[in-house]
């Protein structure tokens, strides 16, 4: 009588995303959900809320995704499926380690800033034990990203450019945490730094904030105390 189309990304044995076959209607729902989840949180957003904005019937969410929880899962898959590849391509480029780090930072910040919604959601919907099940795929992504960073830094250490007493897993928190904390306090910094328009705000992130993070990580990796 009816078909429940899960449409999740398929993974092979090496967990490389093969395809994410969401149809137009699903994508429409996903993008509305992304906006609302980011604005008001997962629990703060109701299905009726999503349906109204997306101009669909409330039953369509269950029909296309099964449940609200699985809508969130699908959203993560939809948004994180190609970051891995981008990072792996960066590794292969012919650049000095510090340049790779700078590019990695710029890539992270730009990517997160233009997919603001989903990363904000990831940043704090997945802390509670309740959602730890969904966390599996996300955890794999994070491990892969860390591996890429590790490769670059170890390369720099071998060349004698980077110091060896840094705790590599803590560098990601510094990069991403700086961005998130800035963005989480958007109204505060808009006011403090006179970033009256959305353009000014985004530009500040793309230039000053990115530069600050690059400067910080470079100093951390190179400075001899």
Partner DNA sequence: AAAAATATTAAACACTTGTTTAAATTAAAC
Partner DNA sequence: GTTTAATTTAAACAAGTGTTTAATATTTTT
Which residues sit opposite 218 in a β-bridge? none
185 binds its own copies (CB under 8 A): yes
Cβ pair 159, 170 in contact under 8 A: no
From residue 33 to residue 62, what is the string marking binding to its own copies with x (rule CB under 8 A)?
------xxx-xx------------------
The position carrying tokens 């590599």 is 168
216 binds its own copies (CB under 8 A): yes
| 49 is a contact residue toward DNA (CB under 7 A) | yes
Query: Is the Cβ–Cβ distance between 66 and 6 less than 8 Å?
Result: yes
User: What burial class does residue 198 get, using C-beta atoms within 10 Å of its C-beta: 0-12 exposed, 13-18 middle, 19+ buried?
Assistant: exposed
Question: Is residue 153 close enough to count as binding its own copies by CB under 8 A?
Answer: no
**Smallest distance from DNA to CB 27, Å:** 12
The stretch near its own copies (CB under 8 A) out of 68-76, 85-93, 110-118, 131-139 is 131-139
Residues sharing a CB contact under 8 Å with residue 85, sequence separation 6 or more, in sequence order: none
134 near its own copies (CB under 8 A): no
Residues paired with 32 in a beta bridge:
none
Q: Considering only CA atoms, give the Rg of the chain.
A: 20
CA dihedral 137, 142, 145, 151 (to 10 degrees): -120
Position 191 contacts its own copies (CB under 8 A): yes
- Residue 113 CA: distances (Å) to CA of 6, 51, 68, 201, 210: 28, 26, 25, 11, 11
Q: Is 35 in the site for DNA (CB under 7 A)?
A: no
Instruction: Look at the chain and count its residues.
Output: 225
Which residues, 53 to 82, sit near DNA by CB under 7 A?
56-63, 66-69
Residue 150 binding partner per list its own copies, DNA, none, with a CB distance cut-off of 5 to 8 Å that depends on partner kind: none
Q: How far is the CB of 1 from its own copies (least distance, A)?
A: 35
Site residues for its own copies per CB under 8 A: 39-41, 43-44, 120, 123-124, 127-130, 132, 135, 139, 142-143, 146, 166-167, 169-170, 172-174, 176-182, 184-189, 191-193, 208-209, 212-213, 215-216, 218-220, 222-223, 225
Contacts with DNA by CB under 7 A lie at 1-3, 5, 23, 25, 45-49, 56-63, 66-69
């Amino acid at each position: 009588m009816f078909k429940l189309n899960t449409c999740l990304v398929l993974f092979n044995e090496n967990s490389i995303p093969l395809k994410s076959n969401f149809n137009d209607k699903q994508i429409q729902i996903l993008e509305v959900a992304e906006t609302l989840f980011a604005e008001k949180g997962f629990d703060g957003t109701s299905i009726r809320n999503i349906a109204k904005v997306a101009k669909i019937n409330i039953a369509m969410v269950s029909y296309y995704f099964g449940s609200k929880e699985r809508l969130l899962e699908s959203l993560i898959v939809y948004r994180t499926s190609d970051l891995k590849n981008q990072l792996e391509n960066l590794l292969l480029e012919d650049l000095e380690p510090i340049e790779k780090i700078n590019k990695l930072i710029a890539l992270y910040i730009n990517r997160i800033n233009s997919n603001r919604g989903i990363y904000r959601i990831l940043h704090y919907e997945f802390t509670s034990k309740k959602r730890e099940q969904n966390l599996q795929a996300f955890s794999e992504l994070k491990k892969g990203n860390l591996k890429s960073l590790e490769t670059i830094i170890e390369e720099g250490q071998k060349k004698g450019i980077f110091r060896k007493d840094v705790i590599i897993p803590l560098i990601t928190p510094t990069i991403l945490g700086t961005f998130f904390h800035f963005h989480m306090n958007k109204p505060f910094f808009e006011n403090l730094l006179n970033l009256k328009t959305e353009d000014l705000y985004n530009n500040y992130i793309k230039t000053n904030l990115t530069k600050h993070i690059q400067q910080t990580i470079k100093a951390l990796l190179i400075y001899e105390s």
